[in-house]
Structure 1
Amino acid sequence: MNPSERTVFVDADACPVKKEIVEVCEQVQVNMVFVSSYSHTLTLPSTASVVTVDNEKEAVDLYLMNKARKNDICVTQDHALASILLSKGVSVISPRGLVYQEDKISQMLDARYLSQKQRRMGEKTKGPKPFRQADRIKFVEQFLKILS
């Protein structure tokens, strides 16, 4: 598929790889849309489209669910959003370079649910590991694979 026929959508509120996304999308000449809430200010080049939505909890997710189409790409770390987008034929990748797969998403959602349940019961759970340069490198490698 020709990259120019696809759009890269970015769940941009807490995305640590915005710069990398812009560089890769400019290199392969693919459209990119960064979606964030009003409480986040994005400074991006003119080659990137920026969509700002309400501050409501799921406003960014709802926009992405409604706009992303089959063969598009979405960058998000939200497992639930990834699950919905995968069912629409959207390729989904996390900022750490994890390419979400339909056959593994249920297990990821189950693990997330169990962690939330433990926290509600007052137990401590592990948070995400610190974001490292190796994560950026893995993201770019996987992102380029999806685009090619």
Structure 2
Amino acid sequence: MTLYIDADACPVKDEAERVATRHGLRMVIVSNGGLRPSRNPLVETVIVPDGPDVADMWIAERAGPGDVVVTGDIPLAAKCVETGALVLKHNGEALTRANIGNVLATRDLMADLRAADPFRQGGGKGFTKADRSRFLDALERAVRSAGRARE
């Protein structure tokens, strides 16, 4: 089992590392750069070349059944769900075969609305302590579930 982190703009890298360490899991942090590598021997930092979706493609090519992926990128999440990985957003929301279609559709609708009104202000909510707590709880459950699936 591997815990993959789509690290660009990920607010929960430290929390994910604590969970991975507690469970003795390999954790791979993937980004385009700008991250300080962890000294934790369970954590591997992968720096991919610059380019659109290069980190996403790297993760999608490797994640599979029994792995856990943490990402806020919905197209990446869809690819990982399709391969059988457990996927969590940064706020702890699980993305599954049952909900990924609706999440993708909502993402596309919002992109269309933003494109139609370039002066539209606002949007995303701030990341809260409650989001961090939900993420930790969801990651703990996902790791346990993935472990049971591999047995």
TM-score, normalized by length of structure 2? 0.89
Residue 139 (1) aligns with residue 99 (2): no
2:37–2:45 contact (8 Å) kept in structure 1: no
SS in 2 for 1:80: helix
39, 45, 58: which is aligned to 1:45? 39
User: How far off is 1:42 after superposition?
Assistant: 2.8
Range 116-125 or range 6-15, more displaced: 116-125
Q: What CA distance in whole angstroms lies between the structure 2 residues aligned with 1:81 and 1:144?
A: 21
Q: What CA distance in whole angstroms lies between the structure 1 residues aligned with 2:45 and 2:29?
A: 5
Residue 32 (1) aligns with residue 20 (2): no
SS in 1 for 2:141: helix
Structure 2 residue aligned with 1:87: 82
Q: What CA distance in whole angstroms lies between the structure 2 residues aligned with 1:74 and 1:26?
A: 16
How many residues matched? Answer: 142
Residue 78 (1) aligns with residue 73 (2): yes
User: How far off is 1:46 after superposition?
Assistant: 2.8
63, 83, 102: which is aligned to 2:58? 63
Structure 2 residue aligned with 1:3: none
After TM superposition, where is structure 1 displaced by more than 6 Å over at least 4 residues in a row?
none
Q: What CA distance in whole angstroms lies between the structure 1 residues aligned with 2:102 and 2:111?
A: 14
Q: What CA distance in whole angstroms lies between the structure 1 residues aligned with 2:72 and 2:116?
A: 24
Structure 1 residues not aligned, in runs of 5+: 1-5
SS in 1 for 2:94: coil
1:118–1:125 contact (8 Å) kept in structure 2: no
Structure 2 residue aligned with 1:111: 106
Q: What CA distance in whole angstroms lies between the structure 2 residues aligned with 1:32 and 1:43?
A: 12
Task: Summarize the Cα distance change of 1:23–1:35 in structure 2 as closer, same or farther, 3 Å threshold.
Answer: same
Q: What amino acid is aligned across from residue 133 of structure 1 in structure 2? A: K
Structure 1 residue aligned with 2:125: 129
SS in 2 for 1:144: helix
User: How far off is 1:92 after superposition?
Assistant: 0.3
Structure 2 residues not aligned, in runs of 5+: 145-151
2:77–2:95 contact (8 Å) kept in structure 1: yes
RMSD value, Cα: 1.3
Structure 1 residue aligned with 2:148: none
